[in-house]
Amino acid sequence: MRAMRIILGIGNPGREYVGTRHNCGFLVVDALAQRHGLTAWRKDWNADVCEWAVPPALGGGKALLLKPRCYVNLSGGVAQAALAFYKLPISDLLVVVDDLNLALGHLRLRPDGSAGGHNGLRDIEAKLGPLYPRLRMGIGRPRPGQDQVGFVLGGFAPDEQPDAQAMVAKAVDCVEAWLRDGLAVSCRFNGPLRPEPPAPKPVLTKPAVPPAVDGREPGPER
């Protein structure tokens, strides 16, 4: 049982960003807190912080929920300060983040990796290096001609809301599995919200039998 682990959701502070695609990390942290009845938030390290006594069924120990109060591109300082305070290795940090390159609802948990163009991950990497676990949440891509910044800072369309909510719930399940079972097992949550339908099996047809000649069945010549 580990003494402390940190779950950091990436997002922007302020009412105007609540529920936006770029704030998927905040949505997951809030949903995790709501699921377990956590309400004792405090401010520390320029973040909203909630310390959680993890129940034995989820691995026990403690977890720290973090929502930076700085903009996305300054997330690294919050992660660095929390890890330093608790003297934790970087492997005890899980970052939850939105991803433009994944379809809406798709989850991808990895032990490390590149920033993939995300300014929040880029700042964390600059402070701590790339070897930290991250849970990427697919938000889809903007339509052709649509402004990318406006897309990520905007909310989900009404017809996307059911999938967005289901993705957040699945991400909370994944975070709980990470706490309880570790990274390798919790990777089972990777993939689209709904499994892809199986490819149709090819229809096998028997080769055509040549017609009989003079009323006789075809056979070897004599």
Catalytic sites, residue numbers: 22
Cα separation, 139 vs 99, in Å, equals: 6
212: helix, strand or coil: coil
In this structure, what are the phi and psi dihedrals at residue 63, rounded to the nearest 5 degrees?
-135, 150
Tokens of 136: 């990427």
Give one DSSP letter per residue of 92-132, joined into a string.
Answer: GEEEEEEETTS-TT-EEEESS---TT-HHHHHHHHHH-S-S
Cα separation, 173 vs 17, in Å, equals: 24
Residue in 84, 9, 94 with CA at minimum distance from that of residue 47: 9
Cα–Cα distances in angstroms (integers) from residue 109 to residues 28, 89, 149, in the given order: 14, 18, 24
